[in-house]
Amino acid sequence: MSDIRPFWIVGRAETSADHVDVTNPYDGSVAGVHAVPDEAQVEAAVAAAWAVRGAFAATSAHQRAEALAHVARRLVERTDEVAELITAENGKPILWARAEVGRAASVFRFAAEEARRWSGEVQRLDTDAATAGRTAIVRRFPTGPVLGIAPFNFPLNLVAHKVAPALAVGAPIVVKPAPGTPLSALLLGELLGETDLPAGSWSVLPVGNEVASALVTDPRLPVVSFTGSEGVGLAIQAAVPHKHVTLELGGNAAAVVCPDWSSDADLDWAATRIATFANYQGGQSCVSVQRVLVDRTLWDRLVPLVVAKVEALPVGSPWDEATVVGPLVDERAAVRVETWVDEAVAAGATLLTGGSRDGATYAPTVLADVPADAKVVCEEVFGPVLVLAPVDGVDDAFATVNASRFGLQTGVFTHDLQVAFRAHAELEVGGVVIGDVPSFRADQMPYGGVKASGVGREGVRSAMDDLTYERVLVLTGISL
């Protein structure tokens, strides 16, 4: 039984009689076996989070920061082991798995730094005669215990984005990893178990989605942080309108190639970045490049470059160091992508490359002439599919970006500073990346979307704000 991974309840490793196998999507091999908490153990985790909320909020910045820094260090020390676990359970090529471990370590390091800076501000109130001698201290305090629901596509880093900000502000967190990829989160629990954080300040519950609804509606978890599909996210929001709910729901990210991005070097850079980041993680990233809006003056030069770069991407075993594109999370996901592409082609789209499936692996695919109402344009493909479309100038490109019901991030390839500032002012998205694809994300920056892409922000400091509320202390008779 020693090879069965425990779960973490109130900071302790526990097991149960119920075990689940986690399999690799590429070859079906068993990545690991974990125990599943029963109803009483889930209740113990939630009750402990509620009970410790005051004591955890009162812990020192030093204690929280040291615990977070410890996790960051341990992730770096165990990079190869953790990366191999990510690849085993998720099918992500080892190249990207190592990058994910590095990012998760950075998230915990940023959180440790922010925990030490978490001080509030002083406001002078003697701005009118009636408020002379008054000063305000404004600090932020945890809204309450957090339920963090994480997806499968970044099984370590997106758990880190739930856990690290919560611990940094002293908010207890109950983590529910994705059922198909819980092993990385359980290993993270092992590292947290090496710290001196208060019992009950964190638990990792690898439970099925059927348990999630009870956790979502539990009044002892007043904050819900969810990353995943639009349908589930909106259902959570509707079920608990009285709670503070943050949602990261993805999108159909666009890259705009403007007419001034016209040198051979410019186009080669754009084609390389577009091809890579339409297909990295198997296209299973919320900001994976899905739509490329190419100025018509550049169309004949850029399209062949993009196709060639896509066809050159190594596809195969996620364990191969050279592989860039591996399988999707399971064969059902690959079948869905295949169906959407076939529907687009049947409706008149031109298949420039790809369009084939082998089990859970779908070939990197490029489409043109796609009807505007096709799913591969309107919805989030979450697979290695790229749609190219010509546009007539910046106005047309920006209008096309904004016509989407999603609004997460957009990349704009331009050297024109005026166009860059226009993009920032006009594009209805949470982030604009100039000179690169929309897939760029630094883990300390605010990250999130508008419209159907969600509400709230990740990025350590932004998430810390989102998990807390302002409380004002007014001092009377104070001279500044």
Catalytic residue list: 248, 286
Q: How many CA atoms lie within 13 A of 321 on its CB side?
A: 1
Q: What whole-number distance in Å separates Cα of residue 166 and Cα of residue 202?
A: 9
Q: Is the Cα dihedral 43, 47, 53, 56 positive or negative?
A: negative
Token pair recorded at residue 183: 């092993």
Task: Please spell the DSSP secondary structure of 317-362, one letter per residue.
Answer: -TTSTT-SB---SSHHHHHHHHHHHHHHHHTT-EEEE---EETTEE
Amino acid type, 184: S
List the end-to-end C-alpha distance of the chain, in Å, as a whole number.
Answer: 65
What are the residues facing 12 on neighbouring strands?
9
Token pair recorded at residue 383: 């697979």
Say if residues 309 and 277 touch (Cβ distance below 8 Å).
no
Q: How many CA atoms lie within 13 A of 296 on its CB side?
A: 5
Long-range contacts of 457-463 (CB under 8 A, 24+ apart): 457/246, 457/430, 458/161, 458/227, 458/246, 458/248, 460/107, 460/110, 460/111, 460/114, 460/161, 460/164, 460/165, 460/168, 461/110, 461/114, 463/161, 463/165, 463/166, 463/225, 463/246
CA distances from residue 78 to 112, 165, 186, 188 in whole angstroms, order as listed: 19, 22, 14, 11
Q: What whole-number distance in Å separates Cα of residue 377 and Cα of residue 466?
A: 31
201-207-208 Cα angle (round to 5): 145
Q: What whole-number distance in Å separates Cα of residue 277 and Cα of residue 247?
A: 23
Q: What whole-number distance in Å separates Cα of residue 442 and Cα of residue 459?
A: 8
CA distances from residue 186 to 25, 78, 212 in whole angstroms, order as listed: 19, 14, 17
Q: What whole-number distance in Å separates Cα of residue 477 and Cα of residue 201?
A: 39
Say if residues 312 and 276 touch (Cβ distance below 8 Å).
no
* Backbone φ, ψ for residue 261 (5° rounding): -85, 70
What are the residues facing 19 on neighbouring strands?
35
